[in-house]
Amino acid sequence: MKNYKPRDYQVNEIFDEIEQIKDFNNKAEQLATKFADHIPLQRILKMNFCDTIISILPEGTPPFNREQADGPQPASLWSYLQVFPSIVRSGQSARLKPIQVERIFIEMLEAIDVAEADLVCLAKDKQVQTKWPSITVELVNKAFPSLISSTLNYATPAPVTAEETAEQMLDEAKAIKEKVKELNAKAKELTAEAKKLMAESKEEASV
């Protein structure tokens, strides 16, 4: 059982939770109530189900670094909402070269959790149902009746509140501090080892 706020769930975690619910109406209710304000979830659902949202990226999962580095936690998809209009047909993506679009996309994939990165690739190709069969357009329309529309202005991300922005900044600051602490410890370790080697070298030279 997760003990953090609904907004902190990764989208793949939301889908995993919905898959465990047996009743269709209960699935829809869970989405509509618990995750009503989860903007990354809405972005993924729109990309997967809305016919007017067309990816300009090649199909499939591009090669990207899937290794999870030690230190700070993976970035949240909340931090990359502005990327979505850049990878689909929009006024924003029209100003970018294909190589720029691919670079932006891969940078996002490498910053977020691998499981969520794989989900984004599925949504890009409108293939979310291949991994989560319960996530259907019927379920989405039941939970969010106005979400899937042919008149979506997808190039304009929904606003993030000041409180949400502040929370994200604090999370990122904490991650940076943890990384700095780790680097300082490593620096001390290397300094001690270097001093030891220098002392041993002087002893050998004096013999």
* Contact between 42 and 144 (Cβ < 8 Å): yes
Provide the 8-state DSSP code for 78: G
- In this predicted model, what pLDDT tens digit does every residue of 58-87 receive, in sequence order? 999 999 988 865 556 788 999 999 999 999
Q: Measured between alpha carbons, how far apart are the two ends of the chain, in Å?
A: 65
- In this predicted model, what pLDDT tens digit does every residue of 80-106 receive, in sequence order? 999 999 999 999 899 999 999 999 999
Question: What per-residue string of b and e applies to 165-174 under the rule 16 or more CB within 10 Å gives b?
Answer: eebbeebeee
Task: Give residue 29's pLDDT.
Answer: 97
Nearest residue to 110 via CA among 144, 150, 145, 62: 62
Q: Where are the domains of the chain?
A: 6-159, 161-207
Rounded to a whole number of angstroms, the CA Rg of the chain reads 22
Q: Which residues contact 85 (CB under 8 A, 6 or more apart)?
A: 91, 92, 93, 154, 155, 156, 157
Number of H helices, E strands in the chain: 8, 0
Q: Please state the φ and ψ torsions of residue 32, each to the nearest 5 degrees.
A: -70, -30
Position 201 confidence tier, pLDDT thresholds 50, 70, 90: confident
Least reliable range by pLDDT among 32-36, 130-134, 180-184: 180-184
For the cut 90, the answer to whether the pLDDT of residue 161 exceeds it is no
- In this predicted model, what pLDDT tens digit does every residue of 128-159 receive, in sequence order? 999 999 999 999 999 999 998 753 343 344 45
Give CA–CA dist 52/44, Å, rounded.
14
Give CA–CA dist 133/161, Å, rounded.
32
Give CA–CA dist 116/109, Å, rounded.
8
Task: Give residue 167's pLDDT.
Answer: 67
Q: Which residues contact 58 (CB under 8 A, 6 or more apart)?
A: none
Task: Give residue 197's pLDDT.
Answer: 85
* Contact between 79 and 168 (Cβ < 8 Å): yes
